[in-house]
Structure 1
Amino acid sequence: MKVAQLVEYGSPLALRELADPAPEPDGVVLAVLASGICRSDWHAWHGDWGWLAGQIPLPRTLGHEIVGEVVAAGPEVRSVAVGSRVTVPFHLACGACAHCRSGHANLCDHMQALGMSRDGGYAEFVDIPNADFNCVPVPESVSSVAASAIGCRFMTAFHAISGQGRVRPGEWVAVHGAGGVGLSAVQIAAAAGASVIAIDLDPGKLALAEKQGASYTVDASETADVPAAVQELSDGGAHVSIDAVGSRTTVVNSVLSLRKGGRHVQIGLTSSEDAGQIALPIDVLTTRELSVIGSHGNPHSSYPQLLSLVDSGKLAPQDIVRQTVPLARAGQVLAEMSDFGTSGITVIDRF
């Protein structure tokens, strides 16, 4: 099979021919139909996350936003049939630990990160363990390209908005960063009945945010005090503020954008510049009684609700996909992410 592999941090991906994978006893092999190119892949490409014991071993086939057709199944698989079209959460889970049993498989004690701790979807085929638990059927009405976004960015935004952020109709939501996950958060929050303010440095991305339902946008490149702008637009501050970037500036701006009793939800992971350590305005947290909430992926148990909303047309991940590319261009897209030169979601759909 053809794969695009990371063989040296920060260097072009290597296009290689590898043996086709075989399924594990409880697993399946997918013929990959679509695979998103995510900013988390960019972090992995740079060798980030050593501070989380998360620097990926090399060589590694990246890709954790996938949709595929089941072409082989192990003898222990019971509920996933050959020929099925499925997606999988990027956080592959065991299904047996306390977190999995309580509906929080995104916190699995034995998690394997697709495209990080095991080879992923920048390939013609990928093997998925514990298929009965990890494979999620894709509705016929949802295209493979659209569904690939559900493997990470769209489902991550869904959990941040509806789960961790507990966004309610009529609330104000600020979204810092209008990349793939930020645009997803804008769309999902707007669909939930919230008024959304999108913040970014790129006017083009802010225009995309407006198309996804943002009521207002703030150009951070031209605004001296982003939190003050959000406070003014929302008549006192956001009820929920999402940081979809993971930089010192966006984290602090997000916290300071909140009204009293507000909820800051952190999606974006940091890069080597901050290495996981960002100081918070702790006195503001105290005097405004603010909450700081982490949000990682999306529990397996939340997929039925998410997919039903996509199937009904209330949510539209396909609207955030800006381009599709062949496998050979994956490395070029990663390089373009270094200066935030991409917009929306890019999907590999030709292998």
Structure 2
Amino acid sequence: MKAVLFEKFQEAPKLVTVQDPRPEDHGVVLKVMATGVCRSDWHGWMGHDSDIELPHVPGHELAGVIEAVGKDVSQWKVGDKVTVPFICGCGSCPECHAGHQQVCLHQEQPGFTQWGSFAEYVGIHQADLNLVALPDGMEFATAASLGCRFATSFRAVVDQGKVSAGQWVAVHGCGGVGLSAVMIAAAAGANVIGVDLDPAKLDLARELGAAAVIHGGEADVPEAIRDTTRGGAHVSLDALGHPVTMTNSILCLRPRGKHIQVGLMLGDHAAPAVPMPKIVGQEIELLGSHGMQAHRYGAMLDMVACGKLDPARLVGDRISLAAAPEALMNMDKFTSVGATVITRF
């Protein structure tokens, strides 16, 4: 099969031909129909993820058709159209038994712990636990975004933030994760503020339901949010993963507000300083959010089916597998609006 592979961190990936995967007894092999290019993939290529063994094929936001099924798989068959959370639970640890596959103690991650979806085919672990059936009519490019950016934002807003109608929600960073969070929080009835440096992304945030937007380079962000909200946001998300956006997210909160860290903090940003006096003095909650379990997709897909959420609006550039290396290496430039998706293999 064709695949994008890198042999050294920070060295240009190449389009190569490698051996087709075979399904594990409990797994499946998918024919990849679409896969997103995510900043998490960039972190992996940079060498920020210790789980990656070289050589490596990245890619973790995917949708496809089941090509082969392991002998122990009972719920899926060849030809089924599916997506998968980027964290695949083991099904055996205490966290999986409690339904928290997103923090599985023995998790597998396509594109990180194993070869990923920048390829014509990809193997998926523990299929009966981790696969999600695609709704009829959902385009593969749209479905590819569900496994990471959109689902991660849904859990951050709905399950971790417990956002409710009338609350003020600040979203710092209006890339794929941030714009997803804007749409989801607005659908929940919140008053959303989008923060970014790119006017085009701020315009899209407004189109997706933001009540207000703030250009991060032209304002004191925490002060501007406190002024707009008359006291501070109830919930604030760092959707980028940077010390500045993390700090702004915490400082913009009202007393007893919730900061949710969604963007990864890796490499030089892995141990940022936090404004502890604010956290202690105003009883601020700090919450992480890392993916979403397959069994929670139903609630999200129900909102898509009834028109409250429209992840198709977040699909940006559609590119070929051959164009993926350049797209991956340029992820830190934040030039794309919406999710870049590989749709031609």
TM range (shorter): over 0.9
SS at match of 1:91: coil
Partners in 2 of 1:230 and 1:8 — Cα distance? Answer: 42
Q: Within the alignment, does 1:114 sit opposite 2:110 as a pair?
A: yes
Alignment of 1:156-195 (within 5 A): 156-195=152-191
The one of 245, 249, 253 equivalent to 1:250 is 245
Structure 1: which 5+ runs fail to align?
none
Partners in 1 of 2:51 and 2:114 — Cα distance? Answer: 12
The one of 320, 323, 326 equivalent to 1:326 is 320
Maintained 8 Å contact 2:82/2:131: yes
The one-letter code of the counterpart of 1:40 is S
Structure 2: which 5+ runs fail to align?
none
The one of 42, 46, 70 equivalent to 1:74 is 70
2:200 paired residue number: 204
The one-letter code of the counterpart of 2:318 is T
Maintained 8 Å contact 2:108/2:125: no
Maintained 8 Å contact 1:47/1:55: no
Question: Which consecutive aligned stretches of 4+ in structure 1 deviate over 4 angstroms post-superposition?
Answer: none
The one of 125, 141, 152 equivalent to 2:121 is 125
2:285 paired residue number: 291
Q: CA RMSD in A?
A: 1.0
SS at match of 1:210: helix
Partners in 1 of 2:301 and 2:117 — Cα distance? Answer: 21
The one of 330, 338, 342 equivalent to 1:344 is 338
2:96 paired residue number: 100
2:329 paired residue number: 335
The one-letter code of the counterpart of 1:344 is G
Aligned residues: 345
Alignment of 1:24-103 (within 5 A): 24-49=24-49, 54-103=50-99
Give per-residue Cα distances to partners, 1:102-152, cap 9 Å, x unaligned: 111001111011100101100000111211111110001211110100010
2:311 paired residue number: 317
Return the offset for 1:71. Answer: 1.2
Residues 55 and 94 of structure 1, relative CA distance in 2, 3 Å threshold: closer
Return the offset for 1:55. Answer: 5.0
Partners in 1 of 2:296 and 2:227 — Cα distance? Answer: 34
TM-score with structure 1 setting the length: 0.96
> Which has the higher mean CA deviation after the structures are superposed, 3-12 or 31-40?
3-12
The one-letter code of the counterpart of 1:141 is G
Residues 29 and 55 of structure 1, relative CA distance in 2, 3 Å threshold: closer
Maintained 8 Å contact 1:241/1:265: yes
Q: Within the alignment, does 1:229 sit opposite 2:224 as a pair?
A: yes
TM-score with structure 2 setting the length: 0.98
Partners in 1 of 2:21 and 2:97 — Cα distance? Answer: 29
Return the offset for 1:163. Answer: 0.6
SS at match of 2:304: helix
1:140 paired residue number: 136
